[in-house]
A and B are shown apart, each in its own frame.
Chain A
Amino acid sequence: MIPAAAPRVDAQPFLRAFVSPAALCALGLIAALAAVLQYSLRAHIPGSLDAGAFTLANFTALLKPLYARVFLDTVWICFLTAFFSLLVGYPLAYALVRTSNVLVKSVILVTSVTPLFLGEVVRTYSWIIVLGNNGFVNTMLLKAGLIERPLQLMFTTFGVVVALVHVTLPVMVIMLAAALAHIDRDYERAAGTLGAGPVRAFLTVTLPLSTPGIIAGVTTAFAWTFSAFATPQLIGGGQVNMVSNLVYQLGFASFNFPFAASLSVAGLALTFAVLGLLRLAARPLERMGPH
């Protein structure tokens, strides 16, 4: 007979050793986020890094038009960025998954993934050189005689969105490609034999089947854009402000950590609200997708 107690230990060997460090990291992260939440409910003591008594004043201050405006601008920029990276990312993901040429495949993969690993500062700096008044785009357009004066591309929402799309494109491509790679191509062939042209087969079969990837890509792009700091800071140059810039400004220029924390909390709540809405809006689309 087998002793009843012995196998239980071996069924999941090293469980404790594998899980406890991860649980510790999770606790650390929870503590950090809890600290932000706690600070958001405390009063600011000017000239001190310590926080005062508990209050809701930080959140009522958020309703001022100045701050409400930044929140609206942030959501608008996130929306534009997510939309355009979907528009630009889809053809790239499609080509990545469907090309049979190994070299083309790896060129597309490395080219589209590299910006993800470059870090925000290098990418943003590069875009400053591209978009600046004596930058690449303006110099080329002036030389070609298409414009007489440099276009104002820096310090505009347009410039910020262009640079942000460049940042979110890699994640979008990865998520779309993951979805496209898992589509059974027999469905498209079936549509073809039933008389659908390539465009129609794409619109009625491939596109709906890739909805999970679209939703994952759009939500991630949205969240990442919300997190962006260097791009709106340097390309927006104070003319285009996002929540992240305000948090930094309040934390390090005014040392008002409680208010910076309440902005972060409100930002987080807003992110989750928008992501929830996106998922809700996508539900009818998803139903059209794989059954």
Chain B
Amino acid sequence: MPRALSQRLFAFAGVLVVAAILGFLVLPAVVVALAAFNGRAILSFPPETWSLRWFVKALAYEDFQAGFRNGLIVTGWASSIALLVGAGFAFALDRYRFPLRGAIEAVLLSPLVVPHFTVGLGFLIIAAQVGLARSFTTVVACHVVLVLPFVLRSVYVSLRNLDRRFELAAASLGASPGKVLLTVTLPLLAPGLVSGWLFAAILSFNEFTASLFVTAQRTQTLPVAMYNYVREYADPSMAALSVMYIVATATLLTFANAYLGLGKVLNVEHAR
């Protein structure tokens, strides 16, 4: 039947298109890997010799090491604070009525639209005025605000999908509101909290534009160190570091997808 044939051709073309787009998405990662294992300092495709020397050089580079340490400090604080603040507010947003509810939500979600360079500039100006210019406090505060929308969203989605009958059962059996929250709600929310924290941590660790404004030499995070490196040097150390970055991020996300259901968190499939 001609219709069945045309449908098959249509489906086949669709598969080709999707494969091409996935190729476009993966291409930079593959090319960076080729460059990273290249034995020479000059790019050539495919590499004439293979080596691990750029990985050794990247790991030994002092600015990268310091950036990694600073990044861990900033990310650890920022993602944990954002999780506490965001989870509490998502809970209040889901259950309660209070003054300025919509206004606070709108302000907290605004970093999704307000350019990061504007937020960074604002934090820099304020920090300079209160004498905290270029301290870790400023960087952490800035990151908390930037990753908060993602925590809010992730926790809010899990709250929506939570079966409240468990809480009602516990309450009717005499548990106090605090006990219900700690022994029923919190464990049920765990996947949403973990994925919210994970998102926040990954985004904070990789945040660049605002960090460029609010960090100093002493508080420079890894993306800022990498940016400075790319501007000054052209050897493939940066490619080696990128490969480590890509592998680590993809691994974390695959893990998140397998154990937490990335699709549900991102709201791209029906929660069942």
Contacts and interface: CB of A to CB of B under 8 A. Distances in A.
Interface in A231-249: 234, 243-244, 247-248
Contacts of A15: 92, 96, 98
Interface in A101-137: 105-115, 117-130, 132, 134-136
B208 interface: yes
Contacts of A128: 230
The 5 closest A-B pairs by CB, nearest first: A119-B206, A32-B122, A126-B28, A22-B89, A177-B268
Contacts of B122: 31-36
B35 interface: yes
Interface in B18-75: 18, 21-22, 24-29, 31-32, 34-35, 42-45
Interface string B203-227: 1011111001100000000010011
A118 B249 contact: yes
Interface of B: 3, 6-7, 10, 14, 17-18, 21-22, 24-29, 31-32, 34-35, 42-45, 84-86, 88-89, 91-92, 95-98, 100, 103-104, 107-108, 110-119, 121-126, 128-129, 141-142, 144-145, 148, 177-178, 181, 199, 202-203, 205-209, 212-213, 223, 226-227, 230-231, 238-239, 242, 245-246, 249-250, 252-254, 257-258, 262-263, 266-270
A139 interface: yes
Contacts of B24: 88, 166
Contacts of B227: 121, 230, 234
Interface string A134-145: 111001100000
11 contacts: A29-B111, A112-B22, A118-B206, A118-B246, A120-B206, A125-B239, A136-B34, A197-B6, A223-B112, A229-B209, A230-B209
A71 B108 CA distance: 27
Interface stretch (A52-60, A264-272, A279-287): A264-272
Given A120-B223, A129-B35, A25 B230 contact: no
Contact of B28 (A23, A166, A272, A275): A166
Contact of A91 (B21, B118, B266): B21
A242 to B, nearest CB: 10
A134 B18 CA distance: 28
A227 B126 contact: no
Interface stretch (A6-14, A62-70, A153-161, A203-211): A6-14
B21 A271 contact: no
Contacts of B34: 136
Contact of B181 (A14, A94, A247): A14
B79 to A, nearest CB: 13
B245 A174 contact: no
Given A119-B205, A229-B117, 8 more contacts: A12-B95, A25-B144, A39-B125, A110-B250, A119-B208, A134-B42, A228-B209, A251-B124
Contacts of B226: 121-122, 125
A113 B209 contact: no
A198 B7 contact: yes
